Amino acid sequence: MIGIKGGTHLKSIIIYYSYGGNTKRIANMIHDKTGYDIVEIKPVVPYTSDYQKLVDEEENKMHQEEVVEIEPISVDLNNYDAIILGTPIWWYTMTPPIRTFLKNNDLSGKVIVPFATNGGWLGSTFDDIKKYAPNSNILNPISIKFNGSDLAISQDELNEWILKL
């Protein structure tokens, strides 16, 4: 488990949003290796499955730091000390569902370990997470690059990061 708090291991949970499946794949990999609880963030109104249409419709909203309505999560975050937070990268930052999750929840005092799935353009993602969770402790972020649905980083590198959780 992540770190030590007052001599005890931190209780951790994986929270993620996935559009095309890559982020979900990594979240499930982490879950399988750690046994941490896992929750998927889902927008109330799902995004189109047509990627080009998504790009055309959402790009301007991203620049306006849009938040979207998300379905309520089924866990009490007060029961967790650490959040493994997963997001795809859209226009060089986190997705609107993750932004909404961060805006809607006070994560003060919690450890956040972000992972970002992307095609190689991380942008300001981790700085933006810190902006929306200013009183949390951001630790050990990782950019997980993909070429389509194929991992572009080594499985060994990913496993090493997971083992540090």
In tens, the pLDDT along 76-85 reads 999 999 999 9
Q: Which pLDDT value is given to residue 6?
A: 44
| pLDDT band at 120; cut points 50, 70, 90 | confident
In CATH terms, 4-163 corresponds, of 3.90.1520.10, 3.40.50.360, 3.40.50.720, 3.30.450.40, to 3.40.50.360
CA geometry: angle at 100 spanning 97 and 102, to 5°? 110
Long-range Cβ contacts of 58-67 (<8 Å, 24+ apart):
58/90, 58/96, 59/91, 61/96, 62/90, 62/91, 62/93, 62/96, 63/91, 65/99, 66/96, 66/99, 67/96, 67/99, 67/100, 67/103
User: Where is pLDDT greater, at 63 or 86?
Assistant: 86
Q: What is the pTM of this model?
A: 0.91
Interval 34-72: pLDDT, tens: 999 999 999 999 998 888 888 777 777 776 777 799 999
Q: Which two tokens stand for residue 4?
A: 């030590």
> pLDDT value at position 126?
97
At residue 2, does pLDDT exceed 60? no
pLDDT computed for residue 57 by the predictor:
76
Residue with tokens 């949003």: 17
